[in-house]
Chain A
Amino acid sequence: MPIDLKKALGATALATAILAGSGSAMAADLRVNIAADPSMIDPITYSELIAGQVISNMYESFTAIDADGQVIPALAESWEPLEGNLGFRFKLREGVKFHSGREFTAEDVKFSFEELLRPGNKAGLNAPYLDVVVGADAMKDGSADTLSGVTVVDDYTVEVAFTRPDVLFPIYPIYLFDSGIVEEAGPEWYNKVSAGTGAFKFENWSRGQKVELAAHADYWGGAPAIDGVEFVVIPSPETAMAMFETGDLDVMVVDGPSMRRVLGNPELKERAITAARAQVRYLAMNSDLYEPFKDKRVREAVCRSLDQDAMIAGLYSGAAKPLYGQVTEGVAGYNPDLPKIEYDPEKAKALLAEAGYPNGEGLPPVKLSTTEPNKNQHLYFASQLQEVLNMPVDVELVERGTHLKSINSGQTPFFAWGWSAGYPDGLYFLSQLWYSDSPYNRGWKNAEFDALIDKASMTADNKERYAIYHEAEGMLMDDWGTCPLPVSTLMATVRDGVSGVAIQPFGLVPFADVTIAE
Chain B
Amino acid sequence: MLHYATRRLLGLTLVWAVALIVTFFAVRAVPGDPIMVMLSDHAGDAALEARLRADYGLDRPLPVQFLAYIGDVLNGTFGLSYRYVGSTVIDVIRDGMTITPLLALSALFIAVPLGLFFGVFAAVRAGSWADTGIILLLVTFISIPSFALAALLVWMLSLKLALLPVAGWGSPAQLVLPVTVLVVGPMAVIARLTRTYMLEVLDRDFVRTARAKGVRENRVIWRHALGNTMVPIVTSIGLIFGGLLSGAFVVETVFNIPGLGRIAIDSVLARDYPVTMSIVLLFTVFYSLINLCVDLIYAWLDPRIRFDEAAA
Contacts and interface: CB of A to CB of B under 8 A. Distances in A.
Given A207-B95, A208-B95, A419-B41, A122 B172 contact: no
A1 B97 contact: yes
A8 B171 CA distance: 11
Interface residues of B, number: 53
A240 to B, nearest CB: 9
A428 to B, nearest CB: 12
Contact of B85 (A2, A122, A401, A407): A122
B96 interface: yes
Interface stretch (A37-45, A352-360, A471-479, A509-517): A37-45
B207 to A, nearest CB: 45
B171 A12 contact: yes
Interface string A119-133: 010101000000000
B45 A439 contact: yes
B145 interface: no
A174 interface: no
B37 interface: yes
A207 B44 contact: no
Nearest to A14: B170
Contacts of B40: 47-48, 404
Contacts of B83: 39
Given A45-B85, A206-B258, A401 B166 contact: no
B298 to A, nearest CB: 28
Interface string B95-113: 1111000000000000000
A3 B98 CA distance: 7
B169 interface: yes
A16 B258 contact: no
A233 B85 contact: no
B32 A399 contact: yes
Nearest to A120: B55
Interface size band for A: 35 or more
B217 interface: no
Contacts of A408: 41-45
A183 interface: no
Contact of B94 (A2, A42, A232, A245): A2
A3 B86 contact: no
A99 to B, nearest CB: 19
A448 interface: no
Contacts, number: 151
Contacts of B87: 191
A242 B76 contact: no
Contacts of A40: 84-86
Interface string A364-408: 000000000000000000000000000000000001111011011
Interface in B31-51: 31-33, 35-45
Contacts of B90: 1-2
A208 B258 contact: yes
B131 to A, nearest CB: 38
A234 B254 CA distance: 10
A439 B44 contact: yes
B167 interface: yes
A404 B171 contact: no
A3 B96 CA distance: 10
B168 interface: yes
B110 to A, nearest CB: 18
Of the listed residues B42, B92, B171, the one surrounded by the most CB atoms of chain A closer than 10 A to its CB is B171
Contacts of B262: 208, 235
Nearest to B87: A191
A267 B121 CA distance: 50
A217 interface: no
B23 interface: no
B36 A405 contact: yes
Interface string A239-258: 10011011010000000000
Interface of B: 31-33, 35-45, 55, 76, 83-87, 90-92, 94-98, 154, 158-159, 162, 165-174, 253-256, 258-259, 262-263, 266, 271
Interface of A: 1-5, 8, 11-12, 14-16, 18-19, 36-37, 39-40, 42, 45, 47-48, 120, 122, 124, 188, 190-191, 206-209, 232-236, 239, 242-243, 245-246, 248, 399-402, 404-405, 407-409, 419-420, 439-440
Given A8-B98, A191-B86, A401-B43, 7 more contacts: A3-B98, A19-B172, A37-B258, A233-B256, A248-B168, A407-B44, A409-B44
17 contacts: A1-B76, A12-B171, A39-B85, A42-B85, A190-B86, A191-B87, A207-B92, A208-B258, A235-B266, A236-B253, A239-B255, A243-B167, A400-B37, A402-B32, A402-B36, A408-B45, A439-B44
